[in-house]
Structure 1
């Protein structure tokens, strides 16, 4: 049964469509468990990595100590959370197609597109709040464990990296909702998501290095990573440029999803 509601005049409003999506997200146990798993991934893995490093520090070579990036170490759980959020984003829409609930949602909102905007906005907002909070906790906890070997939030690039965790995962949330809408099938959506984020970069590595170095930096996973580097590496986009490129992938997916949603039957 759809949770969509209308105002006193009988009109569907953006606020009520958003509220409907909020109700759907918070009442699904699987959504709550998955978001908790993403938070635990960011905080828990960051704590484990920093604790292990702090314990091994006296036994590390000078070269290994110099290569250590305390900021990235404390947010190491980002890489696991990336896939958790991506999978959930696909399921947010493909799950409704698999159960048939999407028909009720689209019947309540005949123009269709407000449903897509609301799903992307609500899931993106939830992701940003939770993942930003998790990244902040992971960073300060991790640096406390590292002690004198850690860094400060005011050091160059550090605040951007910590805030970048939430920003990147929010864009990823929107991107995955777009993919789920385009494909509609859970299996197909997940295959498309993993193909875009994992397989495509691997295939690019098969290209001649002169071509791969240029192409790789524009692939979604690599473009997103530029925001999480305190100092940009060779053959990598500048942080905010990379984030903008990653954002364009999400916009393109959402636009394509809108076209598909308008043209296809539920």
Structure 2
């Protein structure tokens, strides 16, 4: 009887599935959409991008202030329709921080690491899910606000076939996604939601302003290598003097992302929760 019962019990036990990247990605996909803050932050980001873009487009060319930081108001119709990019960057960056640092704040990271003891696949899965979702949403929102914004501007608007327009719109989606990845990397590196959001805001917004005020003229060329300036370089339709080329801007901005994510991967691998 004992032998028969043991065999019956063994037959009902499901074979253990090995942890692989595909299963970790599936798990992260479920976690990503099961958190209410994900939906709220995505909606806020899209509303900021579209709302400010349409507002600036309605003011462009009529003599009103077209919006944007003082001294950086959009001078072309494409820039006007994408005025909300800076606001959306902060929202997508915050989402990136929440995706990673949120687990440390709630303690859920312990369960995640227990399920994925090698740790790094957990980070790669989060990055993969975040990149796919955010780039898709950002690209759709950028395309919509550009098309609607040019319709609002009217005869002075740009079209998709104009030189640099498609690159600017797609580049905006890339910039927003990259800002989110910076937030995700900072969240994993600092493990503090307030600290990571503050650092992201300082790096992407305040650093360029401080540099413009304090950096000597002899070092002014170095400002173009800051993350915000490099991001602007590959999303601008026309290149201003003293700025990087679109390809160089993309390379520099991507380098910052790689550095932050690399540091985050090192800490996740080396340090305890």
Mark yes or no: TM-score above 0.5. Answer: yes
- Kindly report the root-mean-square deviation, in angstroms, between the aligned alpha carbons of the 2 structures: 1.9
Q: Could you say which residue in structure 2 is the equivalent of 1:210?
A: 218
Q: Could you say which residue in structure 2 is the equivalent of 1:3?
A: none
Tell me the distance in 2 between the aligned counterparts of 1:68 and 1:262: 46
**TM superposition shift of 1:72:** 0.7
Q: Could you say which residue in structure 1 is the equivalent of 2:49?
A: 42
Once the two structures are superposed, residues 61-107 of structure 1 have per-residue CA deviations (whole angstroms, 9 ceiling, x without a partner) of: xxxxxx84000101111110000011111111111001000000000
Q: Is the 8 A contact 1:226 1:242 kept in 2?
A: yes
Q: Could you say which residue in structure 2 is the equivalent of 1:175?
A: 182
**Pairs aligned (count):** 252
Q: Is the 8 A contact 1:120 1:173 kept in 2?
A: no
Matches within 5 A, 1:183-202: 183-202=190-209
> Which structure 1 residue ranges, 5 or more long, are not aligned?
1-6, 61-66
Q: Is the 8 A contact 2:49 2:87 kept in 1?
A: yes
Q: Give the 3-state SS of the residue equivalent to 1:134 in structure 2.
A: helix
Tell me the distance in 2 between the aligned counterparts of 1:57 and 1:181: 46
Which one of 132, 136, 148 corresponds to residue 129 of structure 1?
Answer: 136
Q: Is the 8 A contact 2:60 2:77 kept in 1?
A: no
Which stretch of the first structure deviates more once superposed, 99-108 or 9-18?
9-18
- In structure 2, the CA distance between the partners of 1:9 and 1:148, relative to structure 1 (3 Å rule), is same
1:51 aligns with 2:82: no
Q: Give the 3-state SS of the residue equivalent to 2:244 in structure 1.
A: coil
Q: Give the 3-state SS of the residue equivalent to 1:228 in structure 2.
A: coil
- In structure 2, the CA distance between the partners of 1:15 and 1:157, relative to structure 1 (3 Å rule), is same
**TM superposition shift of 1:8:** 5.4
Matches within 5 A, 1:1-266: 9-53=16-60, 56=62, 68-205=75-212, 206-211=214-219, 213-266=220-273
- In structure 2, the CA distance between the partners of 1:70 and 1:33, relative to structure 1 (3 Å rule), is same
Looking at CA atoms only, which structure, 1 or 2, has the larger radius of gyration?
A: 2
Tell me the distance in 1 between the aligned counterparts of 2:84 and 2:209: 21
Q: Give the 3-state SS of the residue equivalent to 2:97 in structure 1.
A: helix
Once the two structures are superposed, residues 199-248 of structure 1 have per-residue CA deviations (whole angstroms, 9 ceiling, x without a partner) of: 3223322011120x211110101100001211111111001210111001
Q: Is the 8 A contact 1:85 1:172 kept in 2?
A: yes
> Which structure 2 residue ranges, 5 or more long, are not aligned?
1-13, 67-73
Tell me the distance in 2 between the aligned counterparts of 1:68 and 1:258: 40
Q: Is the 8 A contact 2:81 2:145 kept in 1?
A: yes
Tell me the distance in 1 between the aligned counterparts of 2:100 and 2:15: 28
Tell me the distance in 2 between the aligned counterparts of 1:164 and 1:226: 10
Q: Is the 8 A contact 2:57 2:152 kept in 1?
A: yes
Tell me the distance in 1 between the aligned counterparts of 2:217 and 2:171: 28
